[in-house]
Amino acid sequence: MGMRVTNTMVTKNAMSNINSNKSSMSSLNTQMTTQKKISRPSEDPVTAIRSLRLRNSLNEICQYNDRNIPDANNWLEVTNDALTNIRDVMQTMYEKCEQAANGDNTTEDRRILLTELKNLSTQIYAEANSDYAGRTVLSGYYTDMDVVFEKADDDASYTITETLSASDVTKMTYISQKTNIDINNIKPVNTSDMPQENEIYRMRLGYDGLDFDKNAHPAQTFKLNYSKAVDTLAVKTTPGNESVINNGIRGVKNETEINGTKISITNNEDDTKVVEVTTASGTNKYEIDKTGRVTTKSGANEVKYLNNGNIMITTADASYSKGLEGEKNSSFSIELTPACKQIGSVVANYEKEVTPFTITDGEDQAYMGVAADGSYTEKLGDYEIRLVAETGELIMGDKIANELGALGAVNGKEPMSFTYDKTGFQRYELKPEQYFDCVNQTDPNNPITHVKESSDINYAVSFNQEIKVNVEASDAFDQAANRDISELIDMVSHSLDIEDKLSKLKAAAENAATSKDKITYDSMIEAVQRELDIANEKLESAYEKGMTNFQNYLNKINTQITDVGARQNRLDVINNRMTEQKANFQELKSSNEDKDLEEIMIEYQAALTAYQASLTATSKLSQNTLLNFL
């Protein structure tokens, strides 16, 4: 049975076709305008999803390529320039020492050298505060803090804890019985009063001019703290098996006994732990939860959480006799992970009392503990350590120097530390925060504690890839270089002063009124000449030592410059790769989203032709009626 087709049906179909062609033309017109394949996700969900993914990846690449990498590269360039400038000053210092050590230096040569050394001392760390976009590049996380004092600050006050190593124990030469001659009041110099060359052991601290109250009652004292790894352990395990201390076995109690001090750790079935420390005073108990936090503590022993997440338990009343001169330790320390796994050796901690020298009465130019002639005023015992606060030195007897010089690192840390106060800093002195654990006491009502720790600044420069952009000042240089220059300046100045004194004496001797005066002048000239010979010999040694020291400083800073250069090269490789990836993703994005204009024009022309044809056909069709078919 056939279907009846009416005029209305024909007209509706024709209009539908016209609208369809018109819609195609509209879509093509939109594509022609935007040159995009789609204008809304519903037109092609697959293309839309792929476009979102490509756009996200491209945006991330652009973040790396256009912002992070250039920012990281600029940071590295500023860092490299700062380190290079400091390196150049140190290189100049090395060359001056080499030149002075290898030649015959006249008085004028020394005067020129003294001027150059003074200039170098003000330049050596002038670049340390270099910044990038308002951030100090050598200060680690403290990017809002300078590395050195830009100007003298008499009010800045710090309590500083400085770590020391065995290599810091060095032998120092000094001159005793220096000549103190008044040409207008000549006196013969006896043979026993002639200048003498002496040696003493010392550890030089990072700063001079330390705080010291000479009128304190009782007398002010300091503590030199040092540590040793315990080398005689009685290890017990319950039940008796081959497991070692703190092996983490559940339900097993592990014990370490050290000369009557016992440390035991029990790992419970629920992953909690119990640490018991038994000394002559009794047992202290610590309960530790699954996260490694101490939940219950009894006793006075110290529990400290370290920056690495571990726990440090320090016990009191220990009696391990392995210290200097056989002295007994003040405590034991044991480091545990949150799971109570022992890290490194059990450590025996010691304290050595250090007494400062007092200012020599009646001597206007006297150092603390050093007479006006530069000699130390008291003879030290074999195991005695004294602080020279003004020069920032710990001087010591021979036997204790040998024992301290033999100390090794303990669990990867330096074996010694010394805490002192310092108020007032000179321009270009290093800020303590950058090098030491310290407390800024400048505002007594708001002390600020700083813990020195590694502070790497990493930039994300590629997918799952970071690069370190900073160098910490403490990794490249320290206060020792500046202190070496200061000491060399003092030695050159001393040598020039003696030469000037000797020249005046010789001129006066030529005009001696009597033979007795001539003999007196001769004895004085002999004393001054002897002092000059010792001073010049000491100065020659200082030049040679300076060459070695500054070569070491150069090696240290060159290592960091090389490392920065290597990171810049790596960054260049990453940048090139990210640039290529950016171009590739832009091409993929364009291929997925964009449409060629010529292709659109051809399709549009075809759609236009179809549209016009549909209009023509419909117009002719609408002219006929049913009577035309009868």
pLDDT above 60: residue 136: yes
What is the average pLDDT across 515-532? 88
What is the average pLDDT across 446-460? 90
DSSP letters spanning 86-111: HHHHHHHHHHHHHHHHTS---HHHHH
What tokens appear for 196 in the block? 């003498």
pLDDT above 90: residue 82: yes
What tokens appear for 18 in the block? 């016209």
pLDDT of residue 625: 59
User: Per residue in 367-400, pLDDT tens?
Assistant: 334 555 555 655 678 888 989 888 899 999 889 9
Instruction: Produce one character per residue of 250-279: b if its CB has 16 or more CB atoms within 10 Å, e if not.
Output: eebebbbebbebbbbbbbeeeeebbbbbbb
pLDDT above 80: residue 271: no
Domain locations along the chain:
154-213+367-408+416-454, 234-352
What is the average pLDDT across 515-521? 85
pLDDT of residue 628: 55
**Region of 189 on the Ramachandran plot (φ > 0 left; ψ -120 to 50 alpha; else beta):** beta
Range name among 8-22, 353-367, 382-396, 584-598 with the lowest pLDDT average: 353-367
DSSP letters spanning 151-162: S-EEEEEEEEEE
Residue 183 binned pLDDT confidence (cut-offs 50, 70, 90): confident
Residue 623 binned pLDDT confidence (cut-offs 50, 70, 90): low
Residue 339 binned pLDDT confidence (cut-offs 50, 70, 90): low
Strand 448-450 to strand 437-440: parallel, antiparallel, or no bridges (unpaired)? antiparallel
Cβ 559 vs Cβ 497: under 8 Å: no
Range name among 54-68, 260-274, 506-520, 568-582 with the lowest pLDDT average: 260-274
DSSP 65: I
Tell me how far apart the alpha carbons of residues 241 and 64 are, in angstroms, rounded to a whole number. Answer: 55
Smallest Cα–Cα separation from 229: which of 342, 93, 98, 92?
Answer: 342
Q: Is 29 exposed, middle or buried (0-12, 13-18, 19+ CB in 10 A)?
A: middle
pLDDT of residue 366: 37
Between 380 and 365, residue with greater pLDDT: 380
What tokens appear for 581 in the block? 């990836």
pLDDT above 80: residue 350: yes
Range name among 119-123, 221-225, 257-261, 576-580 with the lowest pLDDT average: 257-261
pLDDT of residue 245: 39
Q: Which residues are 234's β-sheet partners?
A: 257
Smallest Cα–Cα separation from 387: which of 427, 422, 362?
Answer: 422
The helix/strand/coil state of 397 is coil
Q: How many H-runs (helices) and E-runs (strands) does the chain carry? A: 9, 23
Tell me how far apart the alpha carbons of residues 539 and 94 are, in angstroms, rounded to a whole number. Answer: 15
pLDDT above 70: residue 239: no
Mean of per-residue pLDDT scores for the chain: 81
pLDDT of residue 197: 85
pLDDT of residue 372: 52
pLDDT of residue 260: 61
Q: How far is CA 432 from the centre of its chain?
A: 11
Write the CB contacts of 335 (distance below 8 Å, at least 6 apart in sequence).
306, 310, 311, 312, 342, 343, 344, 411
Cβ 397 vs Cβ 381: under 8 Å: yes
Cβ 140 vs Cβ 472: under 8 Å: yes
Residue 396 sits at φ, ψ, to 5 deg, of -150, 160
pLDDT of residue 233: 45
User: Per residue in 19-39, pLDDT tens?
Assistant: 777 777 777 677 677 667 666
pLDDT of residue 610: 76
DSSP letters spanning 219-272: PP-EEEEEEEE----EEEEESSSS--TT---TT-EEEEEETTEEEEEEE-TTS-
CA distances from 298 to 293, 332, 365, 511 (A): 14, 17, 54, 85
Residue 283 binned pLDDT confidence (cut-offs 50, 70, 90): confident
CA distances from 153 to 149, 198, 392, 429, 481 (A): 7, 36, 18, 10, 21
pLDDT of residue 576: 93
What is the average pLDDT across 264-270? 71
pLDDT of residue 181: 76
**Region of 259 on the Ramachandran plot (φ > 0 left; ψ -120 to 50 alpha; else beta):** left
pLDDT above 70 covers a percentage of the chain that reads 81
CA distances from 250 to 267, 271, 422 (A): 5, 7, 50
CA distances from 431 to 78, 113, 162, 435, 575 (A): 20, 28, 13, 7, 36
The helix/strand/coil state of 625 is coil
User: Per residue in 1-13, pLDDT tens?
Assistant: 566 666 677 777 7
pLDDT above 90: residue 74: yes
What tokens appear for 496 in the block? 């020039």
Tell me how far apart the alpha carbons of residues 91 and 112 are, in angstroms, rounded to a whole number. Answer: 18
- Residue 239: cis peptide before it, omega within 30 degrees of 0: yes
Range name among 401-405, 563-567, 590-594 with the lowest pLDDT average: 590-594
**Region of 616 on the Ramachandran plot (φ > 0 left; ψ -120 to 50 alpha; else beta):** alpha
Tell me how far apart the alpha carbons of residues 594 and 32 are, in angstroms, rounded to a whole number. Answer: 10
Cβ 355 vs Cβ 387: under 8 Å: yes
Write the CB contacts of 66 (distance below 8 Å, at least 6 apart in sequence).
none
The model's pTM: 0.78
Residue 363 binned pLDDT confidence (cut-offs 50, 70, 90): very low
pLDDT above 80: residue 562: yes
Tally of CA atoms within 13 A in the half-sphere of 190 that contains its CB: 2
Between 302 and 457, residue with greater pLDDT: 457
DSSP letters spanning 326-356: GPPPSEEEEEE-TT--EEEEEEEEEEEEEEE
Between 406 and 215, residue with greater pLDDT: 406
pLDDT of residue 570: 94
pLDDT of residue 254: 55
pLDDT above 80: residue 246: no
pLDDT of residue 210: 93
Cα dihedral 181, 186, 189, 195 in deg (nearest 10): 10
pLDDT above 50: residue 166: yes
pLDDT above 90: residue 243: no
Q: Which residues are 279's β-sheet partners?
A: 282
User: Per residue in 405-444, pLDDT tens?
Assistant: 999 998 888 999 999 999 999 998 999 999 999 999 999 9
Side chain identity, residue 454: S
User: Per residue in 541-553, pLDDT tens?
Assistant: 999 999 999 999 9
Q: What is the CA radius of gyration of the chain?
A: 41
pLDDT of residue 2: 61
Instruction: Produce one character per residue of 151-190: b if its CB has 16 or more CB atoms within 10 Å, e if not.
Output: eebeebbbbbbbbbbbebbeeeebbebbbebeeeebeebe
Question: CA angle, 330 as apex, 328 and 335 as ends, to 5°?
Answer: 120
What tokens appear for 16 in the block? 């539908």
Between 289 and 173, residue with greater pLDDT: 173
Contacts 24+ apart (CB under 8 A), 439-447: 439/158, 439/159, 440/156, 440/157, 440/158, 441/157, 441/158, 441/159, 442/155, 442/156, 442/157, 442/158
pLDDT above 90 covers a percentage of the chain that reads 30
Residue 259 sits at φ, ψ, to 5 deg, of 50, 45
Instruction: Produce one character per residue of 507-536: b if its CB has 16 or more CB atoms within 10 Å, e if not.
Output: ebbeeeeeeeeeebbebbbebbbbbbebbb
Between 349 and 158, residue with greater pLDDT: 158
